Structure 1
Amino acid sequence: MHPLNMQSTTSLPTALLDHQVDGSSHHDWLLSPVQNPSPEDRCLVTYRMTRALNQLGPGQAEPLQRLPDHRGLYLDLSGPRQLDPVDGRDRGTVTPIDRGSAMTCSRGDGTTDIRIRWDRAGTEQIARIHHGDGGEDLLEILEQVKDADPESQGVG
């Protein structure tokens, strides 16, 4: 079963990070399957994306590359974090872009609908994830609403 093929009835934490490594960058989108994950628990469903999710609008789509689950500590970063090297390989720096909450609902047809509320951007997105084979999924933005008076719960 795909890790997002669950139906959450509560809002669960999500975060978006900018990941700089070897002179290039991508974004890591993290989704927690539980309300308060332990900082060291490797439970965060993680996707690599080229464009920042909170900047995508209705009708736009973005490939998602599934990565190994990340630790809970990445949900609460307040600033840039230099990643520890692995086997002498530089893993770069991650910087929080935004965080918020997400609710998922499996549609049973190989897709998952997700409602994301971004704190800093002050937007709510309705998206659909089309689950592919081999760890490559596609995210499609169905709707986006900009709050008239967003709460100031920004990152950093």
Structure 2
Amino acid sequence: MRKSAARAALITAVGLSALTTAPATAAILPFPHCDAAAAAGVYNIPATSPAYAPALDSDSDGVGCESDIYAYDAATVAEIEATQQQLDGLPPHTGIVAGPGGTGLEEAPQIEQVPIGGADTGVAVDTADGNDAAAVTGGLALAMALAGGAFVLRRRAGTA
């Protein structure tokens, strides 16, 4: 039983780690530092690559984020660059909408009414009903009645 619990914990940890590294594919080129490049899986970046920046090349030999273990992968850089170009070309207020109603890049829905208590954005909020104070007062009275009833019941149970 302990082995299966340990395996479940390991699978959960790996899954959560994969979720936290998923945004690395939305990297900005050139990379700001080698940690960002490593998170995207890019190493040994040549000076001719769009992912290269002089700040990544500590020894000024024309190769940034050098690694003896990993090789440069131009396909990964090309994929990041294509994603960045696609996102840069979107009109304002556009986002990625996923689910049954949308599976691609679409116009994001806008909030048409500011919630009560929201920041003043210049949109008028309709408060014509005027029952807010009555609702709050009634809710507080109900909460106090329930708390008093619970107190009385506990006192009776304690003396019995």
TM tier relative to shorter chain: under 0.3
**Bigger Rg, which one:** 2
Query: Which TM-score applies when normalising by structure 1?
Result: 0.18
- Identify, as 1 or 2, the structure richer in strand: 1
